[in-house]
Structure 1
Amino acid sequence: MRFGGARPFRLRVVPVSGFLRPRQLAFCGGLFVAVFVALCWHVSVGEYGIPLPDVARALLGSGDPGTLLVVQELRLPRAVVGLLAGIAFGMSGALFQTMTRNPLASPDMIGLTQGAGTAVVGGIVLGWDFGLGTQALGLLGAFAGAVVVYGLAWRRGTTGYRIILVGIGVSWMCLSATDFLLARGGRFQAQAALGWLVGNLNGRDWQQAAPLAAALAVLVPATLLIGRLMRTLLLGDDVAQGLGTRVQAVRLAVLLTGVGLVAFATAAAGPVAFVALAAPQIAQRLCRTAWPPPLAAGLTGALVVLASDVVARELIPGTELPVGIVTGVLGAPVLLWLLIRVNRAGSGG
């Protein structure tokens, strides 16, 4: 419509989803390099030290037989499990924080890792593994926790706020059940369960790395696709629906993808604490975006896990600490900082 020769007014809607910005591309490129360097560093450090150039040659399949054996068979599987688990935890945290529009929402907080822990401890202490291994029990426990959270949060649809509140309640229920099982079990059973519960890469081999790699080959592209679709949720459910987004369908897809990521990562490496909480927030601030970017969050998570595992191995000579202890020490200040920021913003309740 024209008024007195004026140009017609057109409402232009700029899509929330889009391609990576130059800053995100540069940051992700730098992270790829940093993760590769951290992987080589992780493999080179140990009782039998290997120079970084020899590690790079061994990764390409050349070098003396002794170095090839140490790198490819003894150290590389552990590093690969840590790298893949960090990617999965970081991306799952980015999905949940974006879906709920809350920086405190992560699998650690809404009962998913706790559900996996309860299932694994129950299988170890009670012997109710039904022939399944730790990985299968962790997968079943995480998915069971997600079903309970989603079912209790459903009331003619779900909201991020209800998912967080219900998830916190389910998380504490699972923690109580786990403590009861540990108290009931024997000393050796409790030690085996605790070694897994804190998040541990000790003794990991290709049997844990292969299923996790296969799962991420499907879940990572799905996460990147869903991440573009879900950004309209940042505008609120009503606005998202007005823009044509099927809010409940997208939210369910986010939940299933995020649960898949955290379930396979937890099954392989245990519930490594705070990576899913801290990595998306670090990536968001470095990329200067309004939401945690999933790819950058995944690479940040991989970098955090690899570096933390090196610290866990070398901090006390002769003792290999579980990686979850180091990430917990580093992640606790991040959680306190987020709580302070949310409270100052007036959204902390």
Structure 2
Amino acid sequence: MEMKPLGRTGIMVSDLCLGTMTFGNQTSEVDAHHQIDRALAAGINFLDAAEMYPVNPITKETVGRTEEIIGNWNAANAAKRDSYVLATKHSGAGFQHARDGAPISGQTVPEAIEGSLRRLKTDYIDLYQFHWPNRGSYMFRQNWDFAPSGENSAGVLENMQECLEALQAQVDKGNIRAFGLSNESAWGTAQWLRLADETGAPRVASVQNEYSLLCRHYDTDMAELSVHEDVGLMAFSPLGAGFLTGKYQDGAVPDRSRMSLSPEMGGRKSARVFEAVAAYLEIAGRHGLDPVHMALAWCRTRPFMMSAIFGATSVTQLDHILAGADLDLSQEVLAEISAAHRAHPMPY
């Protein structure tokens, strides 16, 4: 496991991060606690959660359950809390199951953080992230018809400054250590950075956006920003929401898999996806590689990558992923992956 800097905070995180969005839905509390134990034992020191989790589906009744499950582990393992980095997120505008869909603001930040601290049964959150920007985003397959929202720029920047002041107050209280973004754009991230640098407020340390062999929006403007500004990517869905495992090829839908719960896979499912996956599976097969290990190892080669967030619905899946944690890909494999990407550039 390689350790990477969390922005300019001085905090170091493993380049694999245990995602927890299935905890409390597809993954039981007992299994979730076993996963945390195993991940830490394997050298992973990074867990990512969110106040809205679990997902698939998201329901009013289960919102916050993932944080509660992690909190119960924290309560039973208090001596280990300082040994790992815990990240969670403030839901963005329009999420009706928290604060009636209110946008992120200076007023919502303290309330949301206090709620997460209570559920997580911890005195501090290492990385506190804004789950998506109030103004909207091209993420979640909205890139096909994305257009700037037309919001007043001055108002957007005023809200950012207000939120940074609220975050600083939480840093001063010791409630959070670092600040990150999620589902953000290059312009948005640059504005958060500029305002922080001008005022001394918490500087963006990371951006959590979707990234995988199948979803490579981050490769251009965001990649350049990441490298020059020391804002690493926390890649979510590095296995393409499970497509890159190959388990959905030829019409297969395994029981209790993500596709069994969300048939359209959040807008990812299309004929192009299966063609692209077949190309990557063929590369893995030709070189004797497990496709899961290949997909994660490839993510970790990217120059802007801080940590790839993987999810496992069971300990068995976790053990499978950990078995390939030390894989290094050859230049031949990387070249073939590049050629496959050119042939299948935007499958969803």
Q: Structure 2 length as normaliser, TM-score?
A: 0.26
Q: Structure 1 length as normaliser, TM-score?
A: 0.26
Structure number with bigger Rg: 1
Of Structure 1 and Structure 2, which has the larger fraction of its residues in strand? Answer: 2
- Higher RCO, 1 vs 2 (CA within 8 Å, ≥6 residues apart): 1
Of Structure 1 and Structure 2, which has the larger fraction of its residues in helix? Answer: 1
